[in-house]
Structure 1
Amino acid sequence: MPAEENEARPAVTLVGDQWSPECSVLRTFLTRSEVPYTWLRPADPLGAQVLADHGLAAADTPVLIDDAGRVLRASRPRGLEPVAEWLGLHTDPGGEVYDLVVVGAGPAGMAAAVYGASEGLRTVVVERWAIGGQSGLTSRIENYLGFPDGISGADLADRARRQATKFGAELVLTRHANTLQDRAGGGFTVGFTDGGSVAGRALIIATGANTRTLHAPGVADYAGRGVYYFAALTEAPLCTGHDVYIVGGANSAGQAAIYFSECARKVVLLVRGDSLGREMSTYLIKQIDAIPTIEVRTHTEVAGAAGDTHLERLTLRDTRTGTTETADATWLFAFIGADPDTAWLGPRFLRDADGCLVTGNDIAAAGAAGAATATGAAGAAGAAEPGWPMARAPYHLETTVPGVFAAGDVRAWSARRVAGAVGEGSMAVMLVHAYLAG
């Protein structure tokens, strides 16, 4: 959390403008990585003084400065890996060949880490962003067993991190997997975008999904400057007394609406459909109905965005009539679905029509029905669909590549719930044991 909410002396000072997309990413990354920090704006007297003391100007921001006086200019970071290395976070695998490599540190990946390490497998988790995955950005989870009062995604992620490291799992951050190859002698090698790699005897893919973005005119210009694709806890205090617009009709949008209603003047929930009942859990709908500061607008979509240095106006369109209106808006949070992160795996993997990995008994069913496709970043249109290559049947969560399992949102026909992801990650470890024993 920001250092002003932590009694310990801050280890890092971040100087950056509120409407800088890079600064927004850094604030979120520092918060999710449990790094205490103080955030100063370059236009404020203290921020300007800190910059001057280090021979820097506002044009150099965002910039990170630690207590030892080290400076990292992060205005155009090459991803988050240089930031993580500067902070001293763990970014390089320490072993040569692991029993289990888990790609993705969301609920499914972290459950696999806990159960893999606790049951004697030498386990490493590779995460391109921060522990918790998309769920780590969720403001509140209320239907997860054992937390009747709810828990934030960040708190759940921190508990999972501490539990996994307690059992000896290795957590490698800010490394983006982009290739998968068979390893001589058995097992697999996962390659990273920077040329590094990690090897393991078995693999669990728990990469989840990448959030979709709005494509209305002007919206892309304000990403990180009033338009966000997660309920950033770092942005919420800045929304106090303002109107907040939220796009989406599923649980993530509902959770965000309830969360922001505690600080915003009004929350406007924009839904393309005719009701919330199509995708949102009943318990969330009831809570939203009981909060007077939440306005639900059905049959409404964002048709445009405008502003100067940040978002100032939205154009809203009625999906039935096509009529539009302009609304003053500084804050827009969109939750419009996600696409599975599977393109990097190549053509040997059977995917469904949405790109999710097909596993277990569904491999034969999907192939027979012609519902899956092998096309993608590494496939070719019209290529033969990959099938199961062995005499034995695939294990329940096993993909069309023996020894590679899938868990969580990346898997076809998964529950798309935190509890389901945790269950699949745990079950995958049991199946990994069976695979390695065979």
Structure 2
Amino acid sequence: MSKKAIMQESWTSGINPVSLCSFDYEAIEKPTKAMMHQAARFMYFNKGVGKIKIDGVEYDIVPHTLCAITPWKVTDIIDVRDTLHLSLIVYDFQFMNTMLKVAPGLEVDSTSLFTFLASHPVAYLEKEQISTIYRIMSSLQNELGVDSAVMRQADQPFTFLYTVVKILELMVEYRRCLALTEEAVKQKNNIGIQNSILSYIYFHSAEHLTLEKVAEVFYISESSLSKRLSDLTGTTFTKLLNDIRIEKATDYLIYTGLTLEEIADILGFSDASHLSKHFVEKMGLTPNKYRKAYGKEGAVYRPADKNIALEVTDYLYNHYDADDLLASTISEKYGISVSELNRALLYYTEMNFITLLNFVRVNKASEMLVDSNYSILDISVSVGYSNIKTFNLNFYKFKGMTPSEFRESITLQRTDQSENKYKNKDKNKEKKNRV
């Protein structure tokens, strides 16, 4: 079976693997293989005509199309009618995200900006916007050199800071460009923000979602959708939707001073009473008691929170397969409470402890799926899961496909452009011959 997509390595540069950012040129003359990107990038098509799929959604490419691709999105150039010429900026998304989180006063704006980039992948530039984006791209090229030509400029004073500023400027200009053209792409974005049923429900949970509506979006029958959700989560559509809403409610209770009525309205509950009923069923205590136990006034920057969040994240990446990875044991290790641990992680990574742990484990499993011949069960155990169903559920949540679908549809591309073309059926054949 031929591979449908290539998972690129997470390095931003082939010249300097630890670089914050790289600049490059590309010319595309024919449709390409689909790419799953671990590193974020801006793709500025200054010439050419074609079509690109981003997480399964088609977009036209015309001169002066700018694409913002966040980590783990899949892009696929499916049509090239006139050779595509593009400037490519690859950058460290996590560093930029964390850096802005630690800047006092930028907490709300930075969260809004990164969420916007993740959900609005394409902008079509107008005259003044073209000149602004071209200026930023030229500045980065002059500062960094051209990666594929192994032409990296010698560092000038404050090169790192200069690059950070230019990437941030590019992000802000992209957001402003979309403000002028949002209506043109609104319908498409609403359909395809995520290519996963669970992700779709998560990102649209505040709407009046029904089983029928979601089934229509994914072109399947209600019974098929209901069965798939039951197989994946072991629960019904209604319970899953309410669980997602309650999960979001906990953050509003911790980080905001909104009333229960306001939170209920934001999350799609009919009223505060409806929210409270489902909150007690899931959490075992009322929203008010939860807020009293875990909430805090405002969102104040504390250096200690940053240090804890970064240390815990680093610890999970190095010990993701350990048996004792519980919020309680980790919080005890760092001498803080579980609520303080989750507050720090939510603030700097936008994930609580268990979500971050699952995110790390799924990413490690993804690498093993495309770079080894281990069985899916062995991989799930090796990354720390004792239950294959839990592994499958979390994998689908983050990747929008099952582990077997991922293995069949993704191959690994290294920075030297070589690919791991391992195929299970070939290995199975070799094993059979040996027997």
Tell me the TM-score normalised to structure 1 length. 0.25
Report 1 or 2 for greater relative contact order, CA contacts < 8 Å, sequence distance ≥ 6.
2
Q: Which one has the bigger strand percentage? A: 1
Tell me the TM-score normalised to structure 2 length. 0.25
Q: Which one has the bigger helix percentage? A: 2
